[in-house]
């Protein structure tokens, strides 16, 4: 049995701090990097970002849609990027936000989390709209292979509030219910004194009280987009996440990637150092 994903994240955060470099080959960025707007361009963009991230941060997060945009060729490019990242010792979170039921969901999990799959990553972001229970096959498959899942819980985009803050009969918000259901699935890890492998996506600028959510146990990683271009800074990490700050993976994309390929490694190193200072690991 391989080390659990939760424990691998704990070590990764301890080693190089919370910064996670998003691999987002957005059309405008491809253009400013002087790369073509096609599968060749996203491949090159991804490989250069991996090179800049390796040894400077522990975690990268490729955004799947920017590769899927170019069909099977874009997905083949992503496979190369995933392989390069894992070969460089980076933990890879595939940001695909997949969500479905039963055997359909299971095949998404198999695609992204089976050792030896061409799309193998260390963790996958998933969407709980069909119920946390619909993800149980994916939880089981992830646990079996030492992989992780990040369940969308509370996002910071304004359009999401109405749905995610709707309440059940007991008065819990959708976000809170998801976190409690997923936490129950981390209970086994807790008994072993480990971090859970099933984490959450919680936007860096989400107001926890407004979202109806609060600190949770067992400890499990929080993937927090919204640092950088969306407004949160390294200094916000502790005030915003309080007791949970040590579990935060702070994801930045555009703010770092806009440096361009030449300066990317330096920008990554400098930004990682800023986070390390406040993270106090």
Whole-number Å distance between alpha carbons of 178 and 35: 40
Q: Closest separation between CB of residue 71 and its own copies, Å?
A: 3
Q: 2, 7, 9, 94: which is closest to 57 by C-alpha? A: 9
The answer to whether 151 touches 124, Cβ cutoff 8 Å, is: no
By the criterion CB under 8 A, which residues form the site for its own copies? 24, 26-27, 63, 65-66, 68-76, 78-79, 97-105, 107-108, 110-111, 117-119, 127-134, 152, 155, 157-168, 173-174, 177-178
Residue closer to its own copies by CB (options 174, 237) is 174
Q: Closest separation between CB of residue 81 and its own copies, Å?
A: 12
Active-site residue 97, yes or no?
yes
Q: Closest separation between CB of residue 280 and its own copies, Å?
A: 31
Residue closer to its own copies by CB (options 41, 74) is 74
The answer to whether 152 touches 197, Cβ cutoff 8 Å, is: no
Q: 199, 62, 218: which is closest to 135 by C-alpha? A: 199
Residue closer to its own copies by CB (options 41, 99) is 99
Q: Closest separation between CB of residue 281 and its own copies, Å?
A: 30
Residue closer to its own copies by CB (options 37, 55) is 37
Q: 232, 234, 233, 237: which is closest to 247 by C-alpha? A: 237
Q: 224, 177, 184: which is closest to 200 by C-alpha? A: 224
Tell me the catalytic residues.
Answer: 97
């Amino acid at each position: 049995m391989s080390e659990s994903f939760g424990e691998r994240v704990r070590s990764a955060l301890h080693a190089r701090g919370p910064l996670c470099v998003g691999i987002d080959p957005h059309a405008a960025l491809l253009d400013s990097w002087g790369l073509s707007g096609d599968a060749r361009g996203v491949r090159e963009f991804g490989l250069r970002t991996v090179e800049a991230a390796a040894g400077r941060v522990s975690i990268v997060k490729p955004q799947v849609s920017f590769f899927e945009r170019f069909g099977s060729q874009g997905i083949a490019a992503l496979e190369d990027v995933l392989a390069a990242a894992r070969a460089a010792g980076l933990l890879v979170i595939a940001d695909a936000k997949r969500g479905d039921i039963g055997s359909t969901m299971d095949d998404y999990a198999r695609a992204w989390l089976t050792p030896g799959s061409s799309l193998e990553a260390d963790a996958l972001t998933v969407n709980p709209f069909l119920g946390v229970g619909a993800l149980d096959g994916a939880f089981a498959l992830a646990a079996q292979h030492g992989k992780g899942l990040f369940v969308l819980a509370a996002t910071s985009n304004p359009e999401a509030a109405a749905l995610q803050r709707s309440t059940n009969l007991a008065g819990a918000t959708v976000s809170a219910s998801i976190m409690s259901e997923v936490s129950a699935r981390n209970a086994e890890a807790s008994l072993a004194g480990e971090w859970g492998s099933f984490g959450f996506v919680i936007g860096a600028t989400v107001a926890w009280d407004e979202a109806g959510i609060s600190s949770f146990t067992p400890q499990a990683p929080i993937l927090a987009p919204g640092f950088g271009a969306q407004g949160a800074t390294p200094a916000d990490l502790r005030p915003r996440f309080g007791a949970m700050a040590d579990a935060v993976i702070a994801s930045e994309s555009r703010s770092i990637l806009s440096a361009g390929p030449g300066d990317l490694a330096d920008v990554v190193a400098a930004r990682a150092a800023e986070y390390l200072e406040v993270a106090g690991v």
